[in-house]
Structure formats: structure tokens, C-alpha cells
Amino acid sequence: MTYPILITCPREIPPILAREVEALGLPVQNVLPAAVETSGTLDDCMRLNLWLRTAHRVLLRLGSWSARSADEMYEAVTSLPWHEWIAADGYVSVVSSINTSQIDNTMYANMRCKDAIVDQIRAKKGMRPSSGPDTSQSVVFLYWHDDVLMVYVDTSGQPLSDRGYRMHPAKAPMRETLAAAVILSTRWSSEYPFVNPMCGSGTLGIEAAMIGANIAPGSIRRNMGLLHLLPFEARGWQRLRSDARAAERTARLEIHCSDFDPRVIRQARENARAAGVTVSIAVRDFREVTRVETAASTEEGSPVIILNPEFGLRLGDERVLRGVYRDIGDLFKQRFKGCTGYVFTGNFALAKEIGLRSSRRMTFWSADLECRLLEFELYEGTKKAYGQVTSTQTTDGHPTSSAQENS
């Protein structure tokens, strides 16, 4: 049976997520500010959870109604065949997004939704599942805005950004889904080196290695919400995982990460081992990093150097960081000609200290902080033709590229 599917993600990432969904052969029916809508079966949800790199949750919609009171919401939810989805001796957690004048207590709405679910199961099976805040088993998502009521089963459970490999997150780490979106927005392809000074916990390098080796990001996780749903078929899930392993590439990747802190490097190496990827991770100040000799950039791809320095907002002293950003510009100019450089930052004033004109500025959000991924074409000799941004027209007539651009 085919259901509406809502796939959530951070702001600005939906265009990237939409391309991932289309690559899996599913239709993109709508691109929202922080989600993509498609349709498919529970088996399709398995593939989405296994392969999507930039998604947070895959939500399968069981019903939608107009509801003007808590009682109407209860009746609507009770009408669904929960006994076919959640085991009577299982466990269910209800989470929600509520913005309606019909109710002023989110906890009460969640409780009434939970009551509707367990009451329906008890009526059919003679017993009811346990319930509570634990989202490691069956999860139901209640959406109620104004009079619009929708109910989903969360086939992901824990967010897909929790890949399962980051044993040591370091301080202020980049979320895995954001790291994947950033990499997919660069000109890097697996035939070229990927250089990541200031690597911290190694997330950018690990995500690049997974992309380059075509490793399904969900293959590392040991638990998902879909595993606890009654229609789940273990045999089909194992087949999908086996197919994913067979699709992995064994080509040698040149991914070079470094950081000046030996303790952080030890943690990054442990994270890479947990992810099952091979990444060169060395103790080195970013000012000492040198280019890996390789072919020059082409229209198909480019050797890439990418840095994610402190912003001076929540971490770091902005006065000290001015020199750091200037040194990043010097590193690009002096040692990485012929490559494409990237800086991910949430401090736009500090970004000016790099001293280079960016060819693209792509907007992302790290939690509630607006950030930019700045691209620098580091020409060798005269300006080459590679790396020109080809704009396409969106439905509102504005140009766009791999992520939203800002002048």
C-alpha cells in the first residue's frame, strides 16, 4: 500500500534532499522549507532510512483530518488500525508539533493521542502497549496546526543524523546530516583529494569517505523506528542491507584530515573506525597543511580543501580568530592553487578577513545559527573556465544552485 511520506531535514537543505529522493526512484511531490514530500510503501521507507544522507526523519502518514477539539482529534486517531502497526505487548511514544487555538497544552494533546492509540489496540487485542517518552521503539508523530490534523508513524525513531559512529563528538560538532549536505554542495568528487584541516571529531572527512565509497549511512545504525512496526519484514530489511553492502565502492580515496590537538585526533580516529572508513587523520596545525599533488580541476570535479573554523560567537575569541581567518586566506593562496577552497562559518564579519572573493555563498543553518559555505576558486595562473555556477530557475523565478545562494 502506498502512503504519503514526509521527510524532514534542516532549513536550506530540502533541494539537496529532493535530489537524493529522486535518485532513489521516488517522486518529489513538494519541497517545503524544512522537508520534502513524496509517497511510497513501507519498503520505500526502509530504503529512504538506509540511504538518505541529509534527512532527519522519514514519517509515513496514516491519516489526515480537520479537527476542532481534543475530542475530535481523539476520534480521528482512534479510527486508525493501530493494532496492525503496533504490538499490543509493545511500546509507543507520541511526539508532536502543535500550533492550534483548539488546545493550549501540548502534553494534554499528546496524552489524548496516546490514549486513542492504546484504546483502539486494547479494543482489538484485549491488551494495550506501554507508553512513555522513550523514542527508541514505536514512535507516532502528531501534527496539529490550526484545524489541520495529521498522524504519522516515525519510521526513523532516533534522528537519522545519529549515524552511530560518533563515539566522541568533541566540542560544537557539525551534525552528520549537515556535513553531508555541505560536501554534496561542493565540487568534490571521489577521484580527487579531500583535505580537511581543523577536522575536530572528523565528521566532514568521515561523511566524505562514506559518500566516496557509496556506503549507505543507515547501514551503521543498529536501531530504527521501522524495526518495531508490525508490518516490518526482517527478511526484506536484510536484503536491502546486503544490496547496499554490494553497492559499496572499493576505489582508493584520498581523504586527509588534521587538527593540532592530539586528543581530538585520537577521538576522530576512533570515530572513523566505528564508521568503517579509511581516512588519513594527522596531528597538524592547519597552517602546516600542504596540497596533495593531483590532477587539476575540471568541470566534472575538483580537489577540495574545506575548513570549519570557530565562529567567535559561542566558541573562540573573535580578536584571535581574525588572524586565523587571515591565515586561512594565505593557506589557500600560497599552497592550494588549482584547487577549490571552502570555509564554513557563521561569522560573516570574520569571513571578510580571508581576503579572497568567494565565487559562491551557500546558506545553511547549524541549529539556530545562520551560516555560509563560502567557495573560493583558487586559480593557478590565469583564470580557468572551470567552476562556473550554472543557475537554474525555480518556480518563483529566482536563481538557485546546489544550496541557496546569497550575494
Pairing of strands 138-145, 130-131: unpaired
Axis-axis angle for helices 203-212, 176-184 (nearest 10): 60
One domain for residues 271 and 386: yes
| Confidence (pLDDT) at 290 | 85
**355 close to 390: Cβ distance less than 8 angstroms:** no
pLDDT at 392 over 90: no
Q: 125: closest CA among 94, 87, 91?
A: 87
Average pLDDT over residues 203-209: 97
Q: Locate cell 552511530: which residue?
A: 164
Average pLDDT over residues 46-75: 97
Picking from 259, 285, 286, 290, the residue whose alpha carbon sits closest to that of residue 272 is 259
pLDDT digits (tens, 9 = 90+) for 321-330: 999 999 999 9
Structural domain boundaries enclosing 41? 3-154
Which residue among 124, 154, 184 closes a domain? 154
Tell me whether residue 343 is in a domain.
yes
* Alpha-carbon distances of 297 from 192, 337, 362, 384, 386, rounded to whole Å: 9, 10, 20, 9, 7
At 288, which CATH number? 3.40.50.150
Q: Pseudo-torsion of CA 345, 370, 356, 321, nearest 10°?
A: -40
**Same-domain pairing of 201 and 305:** yes
CATH code at 75?
A: 3.30.2130.30
Produce one character per residue of 119-151: b if its CB has 16 or more CB atoms within 10 Å, e if not: ebbeeeeeebbebeeebebbbbbbbbeeeebbb
| Co-location of 368 and 232 in the same domain | yes
Residue 26 resides in a domain? yes
Give the integer Cα–Cα distance in Å for 79 and 136. 25
The residue assigned the cell 503496533 is: 86
- Asked if residue 288 and residue 195 are part of one domain, the reply reads yes
Tell me if 332 is assigned to some domain: yes
- Does residue 266 share a domain with residue 139? no
Residue 44 lies in a domain: yes
| Amino acid (one-letter) located at 295 | A
SS3 labels along the chain: CCEEEEEECCCCCHHHHHHHHHHCCCCCCEEECCEEEEEECHHHHHHHHHHCCCCCEEEEEEEEEECCCHHHHHHHHHCCCHHHCCCCCCEEEEEEEEECCCCCCHHHHHHHHHHHHHHHHHHHHCCCCEECCCCCCEEEEEEEECCEEEEEEECCCCCCCCCCCCCCCCCCCCCHHHHHHHHHCCCCCCCCCEEECCCCCCHHHHHHHHHHCCCCHHHCCCCCHHHHCCCCCHHHHHHHHHHHHHCCCCCCCCEEEEECCHHHHHHHHHHHHHHCCCCEEEECCHHHCCCCCCCCCECCECCEEEECCCCCCCCCCHHHHHHHHHHHHHHHHHHCCCCEEEEEECCHHHHHHHCCCCCEEEEEEECCEEEEEEEEECCCCCCCCCCCCCCEECCCCCEECCCCECC
185 and 146 in one domain? no
CB–CB of 269/168 below 8 Å? no
Q: What is the pLDDT of residue 212?
A: 96
Is a pLDDT exceeding 80 seen at residue 397? no
Q: Which three cell numbers stand for residue 329?
A: 586566506
Closest by Cα among 49, 48, 84 to 63: 84
Tell whether 395 is covered by a domain: yes
Residues 307, 392 within the same domain = yes
pLDDT greater at residue 285 or residue 171: 285
Q: Is 143 found in the same domain as 42?
A: yes
Q: Say which residue the cell 600560497 belongs to.
A: 334
196 pLDDT exceeds 60? yes
Cell reading at 183: 560536501
Please check whether residues 184 and 112 belong to one and the same domain. no
Range of weakest confidence among 223-227, 339-343, 367-371: 367-371
Strands 280-283 and 57-66: unpaired
- Which three cell numbers, joined as nine digits, stand for 344? 564554513
Q: How much is the mean pLDDT over the chain?
A: 90
Of the residues 102, 119, 154, which one is the last residue of a structural domain?
154
In this structure, the answer to whether residues 149 and 254 fall within a common structural domain is: no
Do 287 and 387 lie in a common domain? yes
Is residue 169 situated within a structural domain? Answer: no
**For residue 166, is it within any domain?**
no
Contact, 89 vs 129, CB < 8 A? yes
Cα separation, 377 vs 306, in Å, equals: 12
Cβ–Cβ under 8 Å, residues 39 and 61: no
Domain count, the chain: 2
184 and 147 in a common domain = no
Starting at the edge strand that comes first in sequence, how are the strands of the sheet with 280-283 ordered? 280-283, 255-259, 194-196, 304-307, 340-345, 369-377, 360-366
Does some domain include residue 165?
Answer: no
Length of the chain: 407
**What percentage of the chain has pLDDT greater than the value 90?**
82
pLDDT confidence tier of residue 398, bands split at 50, 70 and 90? very low
CB 97 within 8 A of CB 143: yes
pLDDT tens per residue across span 245-297 = 999 998 789 999 999 999 999 999 999 999 999 999 999 999 999 876 555 56
Written as nine digits, the cell of 317 is 575569541
pLDDT at residue 319, rounded to an integer: 84
